[in-house]
Structure 1
Amino acid sequence: MPLSAYEFERRLIFYASPTLTKLKVACIYNLNDLDDLEECIQYYNELLNKKDIYLKVLKIKERSMIYV
């Protein structure tokens, strides 16, 4: 698990909880201050893909947006 995975997980739960509980189809949130973002995405995709939940990073002008 990446070092900043705790912060990533905290934000994922805070911003994407309706999507994670299947109350919403999708969500998107801004996340631009984690050093190992790609590693966090890979780790959580391995866990969540089994439940048909996918994370994708959308980069727009040095900002990372997470699409769940």
Structure 2
Amino acid sequence: MSKLVPLFALLVLSGCADLKHAGQDIGHATKKTTTAIGHATRDATREIGHASRDAVKSVKEELE
């Protein structure tokens, strides 16, 4: 029985390390994904804003 305790502890610790590594991988992938989504949203919003501004300027110039 005493020989099995260190073996069991080693298995549990290596399993924990694997879970920790998997969690870190998921966390990093999630961070990269949300950053990409955020940047794409920012860029799309900027383009919409610029197009709206240009349209307003164009209408204003036509009215003058």
Report the TM-score range of the alignment, normalised by the length of the smaller protein: under 0.3
More strand by share: 1
Q: Which has the higher contact order (CA 8 A, sep 6+)?
A: 1
Using structure 2 for the length normalisation, give the TM-score: 0.24
Using structure 1 for the length normalisation, give the TM-score: 0.23
